[in-house]
Amino acid sequence: MKQNRNALRGGAYSLIVTAVVLAMLIVINILAGALPDNLTKYDISSSKLYSITSNTKAVVNGLDKDVTIYWIVQADKEDPVIENLLNKYDSLSDHIQVVKKNPDVYPTFAKNYTDETVANNSLVVESGERSRFISYDDIYVKEADVYSYSYNTSFDGEGAITSAIDYVVNEEQPKMYLLEGHGEKELPASFKEQIEKENIQLDQLSLLNVDSVPEDADGIMIYGLSSDISEAEKEILSSYTKNGGKLFVAAGPVKEGSLVNLHGLIEEYGVTAEEGVVVEGDREHYALQTPYALLPEMESSSITDPLIEEHYYPILPLVEGLKVDETEAAGRVTTLLSTTAEAFSKTAGYNLSTYEKEEGDIDGPFAAAVSIACENDGQILWFGSSDFLEDMYNALSSGANNNLGMNAISSMIGQSEAMAIRSKSLNYNYLTISDSTSAMLQAMMIGIFPLIYLGIGICVVMRRRRMQNEAG
């Protein structure tokens, strides 16, 4: 009887403990369910598909206006990645509200914001009277793969939404002028789209019939000109940068003539543009089996650090090398990209017939890009290539070229929050194993491991029975 009472008492105690533990687990589960997703879910994907960057947090945390994100989606058609992203925006700020709009219930809602055909999981971001429509195709972006003649898909939801939020809450957006009148190349489509995505207005500017740069200019871009600027234009641009203006230049070697006046803008700061096309002698620092397609060294700076940290490497083709006079340029010039000491400049330029060094060629190393601090917080960002932003080279660098250019522009005009919000690749790499390895793993999972667990269970049961017999 005593043994039965002890057993009953022990059973009751175990039952009470089990009930208490279960109650605690239920309470913990309820409390955890009430927490926001960013505290309970962790992103272990290689591309950080379910995370947002510090750049977005800076934009959202600075909100002082209410923003509504309308999610246009039919019932049970919600994209889980977009849903996760919207939940993160919703939890970041009390100024953001996510509202679902089922097109079956509200068939005319989207027509108030766009004339496009609206696919499921498209978005509208609105604040006051300003709004922006984000198509599903702007969230899942397809880009051509020049190697496989196929398309790569990337997720750009964060970049699109953060850009839209910045647009609807800020009526005044930065404005950049593109210089014209010197045979400039057309700005590449993908880079132009990136600039517009960052809410930077673009307009054309000719300095031939004006006395100064427009007052509303937050920056001027000179891209791929084929002939020199005039002395008068040089004076206008020099005065502009010395009075706090920002100038972005992508200028490589030209096929005919020279760019004496344009180069004069940087010569007064101790930077000289050397004649010819740079050829890299170090095999590790050029791409595409082409010595003039440089893979330059990236020096640490706010412009290059995002690429260095993510191990992205820009490709700069047809570079006009820059020599920096360390004495004259001290404290003013920062080298962003540089060649190795084995590089040299082919003075034959576009007429070069060999990649070997010849008499008259100029010894390296060279700077391929520099940042120059001018008076009154003015700035010149100079890239020695007119082609590095072209779509082909950007694709070959996996987007590093556009990111480098956008980081430079964002830094120059004070849009640092927009820097390096990259789209996230959805092209996963799968683990490939041999048939023998597959068979071995199947045998272990189906046969060996279950037998081990069964053996452990039998041993535990036998041990407990033996202990009970000894106690009796």
| Interval 38-69: pLDDT, tens | 555 545 445 556 677 877 888 888 899 999 99
Confidence grade of residue 146 (pLDDT, cut at 50, 70, 90): low
Confidence grade of residue 418 (pLDDT, cut at 50, 70, 90): very low
Please name which of 246, 252, 186 lies closest in space to residue 410, comparing C-alpha atoms. 246
Per-residue pLDDT at 23 exceeds 90 = no
> For the ranges 159-168, 232-241, 430-439, which has the lowest average pLDDT?
430-439
Residue 157 CB contacts under 8 Å (≥ 6 apart), including other chains: 81, 82, 85, 139
| Interval 269-318: pLDDT, tens | 999 999 999 999 999 999 988 999 999 999 999 899 989 988 889 999 99
- HSE value, Cβ hemisphere, 13 Å, CA-based, for 462: 6
Please name which of 251, 247, 278, 444 lies closest in space to residue 346, comparing C-alpha atoms. 278
Q: How many CB atoms lie within 10 A of CB 472?
A: 6
Residues for the chain: how many in total?
Answer: 472
When pLDDT is averaged across residues 315-329 and rounded to a whole number, the result is 93
Average pLDDT, the chain: 85
Instruction: For domain 175-414, give the fold.
Output: Rossmann fold (3.40.50)
Whole-number pLDDT of residue 126: 96
DSSP states along 94-161:
TTEEEEEE-TTT-TTSGGGT-SSPPPTTEEEEEETTEEEEE-HHHHEEEEEETTTTEEEEEE-HHHHH
d(CA 268, CA 239): 13
Instruction: For domain 54-141, give the fold.
Output: Glutaredoxin (3.40.30)
What is the CA 322 to chain-centroid distance, rounded? 28
Please name which of 166, 194, 158, 160 lies closest in space to residue 59, comparing C-alpha atoms. 166
Q: How many CB atoms lie within 10 A of CB 278?
A: 31
Percentage with pLDDT > 70 across the chain? 84
Q: Please report, for residues 172, 184, 265, 382, the alpha-carbon distance to residue 161 in angstroms, rounded to integers and kept in the order given.
A: 18, 33, 39, 31
